[in-house]
Structure 1
Amino acid sequence: MNDHDQSESPAGKRPPRQSRKGLTSTGARKAASKSTRSRSREFALQALYQHLVSGNSASSIDSFTRDLAGFHKADAAHYDALLHGCIENAEALNTQIVPHLDRPMAEISPIEHACMWIGVYEFQHCLDVPWRVVINESIELAKEFGGTDGYKYVNAVLNALAPTLRAAEVAADRNTAA
């Protein structure tokens, strides 16, 4: 047996640690394991961030984003719905979010703001996406792109909104769990 064969390890040594399936060493999801919808949310997040920071129009951001590497692996229709829907409904989305904030919207990170927009928009307009998936996907975006604990804030706001925006679905889930 050569020195590189790891079928048998010397006494007292463990074999190399295997990474968790679908996750990188940092805990982020591996690109290969992401669904087309998850990818569309990532591109929409980047586009919404650009809109929040620069104020660029949806059409100019859309043109730029579609040229980014990997966009062809995203669900383009879902991306379109999120980008254009969030920008067109920004005021209404903010109206839903603001009562659950502990500080002015201007003090919220643009990443967390965009994650909350995506979550609220999906609650209201993407009824094929279960409410728990909406929250989980928004949290994952905030973990991957946002500040250290920003995902906790996104989670708290979306969990507070879910019983109102998806009342029947949340109630049914909670009755099943009880």
Structure 2
Amino acid sequence: MVEKNQQSPKSEFNPAARRKARHYGMQALYQWQMTKDSLSDIELQFLSDYDFSRVDVEYFHDIIHHVPASLNELEEAFIPHLDRDIKDLDPIELALLRLGSYELIKRIDIPYKVVINEAVALAKKFGATDGHKYINGVLDKLAQDVRTVEIKAG
């Protein structure tokens, strides 16, 4: 297979490429939730089916392998901020809360406002009509718990 559609691992940080990695990462997490297919198979499918030339491939890989590996920790962090049982969440909301929680807890290199804004944008694109408001509220409360110093610093 020709590697023309994969980003060079030595490329500089590119916010647009990171945004696209989140976009595909959320879709891959959703697919994994719904099918329980192998993460490696899902990753290969995405890499072959979509143009990844302008995607942060390394971050996409990070998302789809580290979010499922940290599920218990991530869910324990956001469940207290839910107003319903986790089983009653829309699958898109669940994928976004897992992804957003991962970024808030494990990726402190990403500002909390960026994490929340990106999750809200994906919720607006893929979620239910007002799902983005729910995502915003839950991740904002979680950020208050896990990013206290950053929030206080302004």
Shorter-chain-normalised TM-score: which range? 0.7 to 0.9
Tell me, yes or no, if structure 1 residue 77 matches structure 2 residue 54. Answer: no
Query: What does 1:91-170 align with in structure 2 at a 5 Å threshold?
Result: 91-170=72-151
Letter in 2 for 1:124: I
Number of residue-to-residue matches in the alignment: 140
Q: Is the 8 A contact 1:163 1:171 kept in 2?
A: no
Tell me, yes or no, if structure 1 residue 43 matches structure 2 residue 15. Answer: no
Gaps of 5+ in 2: 1-14
Which is helix-richer, 1 or 2? 2
Q: Distance in 2 between matches of 1:68 and 1:153?
A: 31
Letter in 2 for 1:167: T
Q: Distance in 2 between matches of 1:84 and 1:72?
A: 20
Q: TM-score if structure 2 supplies the norm length?
A: 0.87
**How far is the alpha carbon of 1:92 from its aligned partner?**
1.2
Q: Distance in 2 between matches of 1:85 and 1:49?
A: 14
Which is higher, the Rg of structure 1 or of structure 2?
1
2:67 corresponds to: 86
**How far is the alpha carbon of 1:68 from its aligned partner?**
2.5
Letter in 2 for 1:171: K
**How far is the alpha carbon of 1:102 from its aligned partner?**
1.1
Letter in 2 for 1:168: V
Higher relative contact order (CA 8 A, sep 6+): 2
**1:123-158: CA deviations, max 9, x gaps?**
122222111000000000111111111111100100
Gaps of 5+ in 1: 1-33, 174-178
Tell me, yes or no, if structure 1 residue 60 matches structure 2 residue 21. Answer: no
What is the aligned-residue RMSD (CA, Å)?
Answer: 1.1
Q: Distance in 1 between matches of 2:62 and 2:92?
A: 18
Q: Distance in 2 between matches of 1:171 and 1:68?
A: 43
Q: Distance in 2 between matches of 1:101 and 1:146?
A: 17
